[in-house]
Amino acid sequence: MSDAANDIVMNMDAAEGILPSTENPEEIRADRKNKLAAALRVFGKFGFDEGVAGHITVRDPEQTDHFWVNPMGRSFKQMRVSDLLLVNHKGEVVHGAGLLNGAAFTIHSQIHMSDPSITAAAHSHSVYGKAFSALGKTLDPLTQDACAFYEDHVLFDDFSGVVLDNSEGERIAAALDGRKAAILQNHGLLTVGETIDAAAWWYITMERSCQAQLMAEAAGEPKLIPHEVALGTRETVGSPLAGWFSFQPLYDVIIAEQPELLE
């Protein structure tokens, strides 16, 4: 391992000491809701919003069969903590005022029910994710960042229109099967994480990895990173801690720029 790679690993190890350590459910809930609203603002800032499409969810720490989600029709760019909806696995809004996106419930409820380790999930209709999804293939290990997804994402090639049927949500959840992401063919990207931070970061870096591969393939014949190197790189840049840590600078910046999102 190179000196630079060693530095990354050491810094990731050191980062464990700054992970939130509270066991107070109220504090955990507040942190998750703050991060959810911030992630939606970041998605809006990066242009991942398109009309009313797109949703990010995070599991409630006490009522684990409930999740927080953005209301349909509220711009990512204007999202506030107070706008968020608490929804149960029956599709009932139990806290908050606003419309529940049917596709958000259908996809996310099945994902949260299928795997208790999944705290958060993110899906949107970002441009490069949509374009790449039309190719009907998974990402190649072309860059260090793309290695985060090496053998840790799946192609879901069963598009049947807007996802409003629980059976399709179940199939998407089953296809994930412990992986951090899925490319929904002819639809877009979906990422999950043990933290809201990681789920949001995986989406951001996956969207950019799709962009990089599209550009590389348009320019010539890309050179793939060898299998063993790609696997080793994934252990560094694709760990849950790396996902959490990578989102922190974005969170700090969006809070500084748009503090009203915490209202």
DSSP secondary structure string, 237-259? HSSHHHHHHHHHHHHHHHHHH-G
What does the pLDDT look like over 18-43, one tens digit per residue? Answer: 566 778 999 999 999 999 999 999 99
Q: Parse the chain into domains and list their residue ranges.
A: 23-262
Cα(4)–Cα(195) distance, rounded to whole angstroms?
27
What does the pLDDT look like over 114-170, one tens digit per residue? Answer: 999 999 999 999 999 999 999 999 999 999 999 999 999 999 998 776 656 678 889
The residue among 215, 31, 41, 239 whose CA lies nearest residue 124 is 41
Stated pTM of the model:
0.92
What does the pLDDT look like over 52-93, one tens digit per residue? Answer: 999 999 999 999 999 999 999 999 999 999 999 999 999 999
Positive/negative CA dihedral, 229, 240, 254, 210: positive
Q: Decide which of 3.30.70.3000, 3.40.225.10, 3.40.1080.10, 3.30.43.10 is the CATH code for 23-262.
A: 3.40.225.10
